[in-house]
Amino acid sequence: MATRLSIMSFAHLHADFYAGAIAALPDVELAGVWDDNPQRGKDAAAKYGTEFFSTPEELFAPENEIQGTIVTSENVKHKRDVLAACEAGVHILCEKPISTNVVDARVMIAEAERAGVQLMIAFPCRYTAAFGQLLRAVRNGELGEIIAIKGTNRGQNPGGWFDDPSLAGGGSVIDHTVHVVDLMRVLLDQEVIKVYAEIDTAFNPALPCDDAGILTMNFEGGCVATLDASWSRPGNYPIWGDVTMELIGTKGNASVDLFVEHVDTWRSGDGSYLWEPYGDDANAALIAEFAECVATGAPVPITGYDGLKAMEVALGAYRAAETSEPNDLPLP
């Protein structure tokens, strides 16, 4: 029997990527959709040839045999949806950031544990071939001790609820810190113990949230790192943004540019210039792994704790920016 997954909310645009990935996987099925915006949910259900349910309880009704669910609601609603899945005994893949505060994240992790369901966090960058190869090189000691990492996760402002701190929990810093911090944690196998940041609303002064952030981090083993978590790419930039890291090691250096693979594309019709990407589909690999864990009971490789530790750095960065002082982690 195919593994039966569902999607809770199409608020996040990644929901479409995940639904597409499910459709492409042979042994996985999109068995239902729920959304607190019924029209959006119905449209998605129609598009992906599945059923729309008007409450989480109906979605998780026993006859639907939902085994796992993907939570792609607005950040502040992750907790609500994760707890509903826990209640129903359904495994969860939750979009990043896990939540918008430490208390909610801890509740989500504890509830999943109590319910005996797995809580995985969507960090698809881990599923690129380039990162996998970098990780092997680092673990084999090819770079020696990693002493510094310079990271960027710059993008265009996604707009919509991402600009609303009451739904997103912040702006570009909460949106763009966690992916690269997660990669750094995996590479170093260490936690961030101190974070400093300069954060501002720089590119669109009318926004109610931040759109520029430069973070500086100290890892417990002595490695230092910076991360550009800004929505600094203009609207006519040829791609949504980037995820890059440069590693400086005692024996060598490495750099990754995860989404650089593209064909330069000029369309004379609309005067556009775009990067048409052809690289790995990290989202598909992420969904495949989640479905596999749901089917076999294997432990998910990216846990709620990973989600919490990455989010903590973003929250610490906001505190640091407010006080213009570095902030110690973990947060109390």
Partner 1 sequence: MLSVAICGAGGLGTRHAQNFRDIPEAQVTLVYDVVEEAAAALAGKVGARVASRESDLFGDEVDVVVVTTPTPQHAYFTIKAAQAGKHVLCEKPMCRTLEQGEEMLEAVRAAGVTFMVGHVVRWFRQYARARDLIQAGEIGEVGVARTSRINTMPSGRGGWFRDYALSGGVTLDMTIHDFDWLLWTFGPAERVYSVGAQRLMPELDYALTTIRFESGAIAHVEGSWADTGAFRTCFDIAGTGGLLRHDSTRMSTLTLQRRAAEEGRVGVQVPSSPAFRSPYMMEDEHFVQCVLTGEEPAISGDEALDAVELALAAMQSNEAAGEVVELS
Give 302's DSSP letter: S
300 binds partner 1 (CB under 8 A): no
- Give the separation between CA 8 and CA 35, rounded to whole angstroms: 6
- Give the separation between CA 294 and CA 175, rounded to whole angstroms: 27
Amino acid at 102: V
Residue 212: CB minimum distance to partner 1, A: 5
| Options 50, 75, 100, 230; binder of partner 1; rule CB under 8 A | 230
Show contacts with partner 1 in window 129-188 (CB under 8 A). Answer: 147-148, 150, 154
Residue 199: CB minimum distance to partner 1, A: 8
Helix (H) or strand (E) holding 93: strand 91-95
The residues, any chain, with a CB within 8 Å of residue 289's CB and separated by 6 or more, are 127, 300, 301
Tokens of 27: 């042994």
Residue 317: CB minimum distance to partner 1, A: 12
| Options 237, 240, 275, 305; binder of partner 1; rule CB under 8 A | 237
Mark 250-269 with x for binding to partner 1 (rule: CB under 8 A) and - for no binding: x-xx----------------
| Options 106, 194, 262, 319; binder of partner 1; rule CB under 8 A | 194
204 binds partner 1 (CB under 8 A): yes
What are the helix (H) ranges across the chain?
A: 14-24, 38-47, 56-59, 78-87, 102-115, 129-139, 165-168, 172-176, 178-188, 282-296, 304-323
List of residues contacting partner 1 (CB under 8 A): 147-148, 150, 154, 194, 196, 198, 200, 202-205, 211-212, 214, 216, 218, 224-226, 228, 230, 232-234, 237, 248, 250, 252-253, 324-326
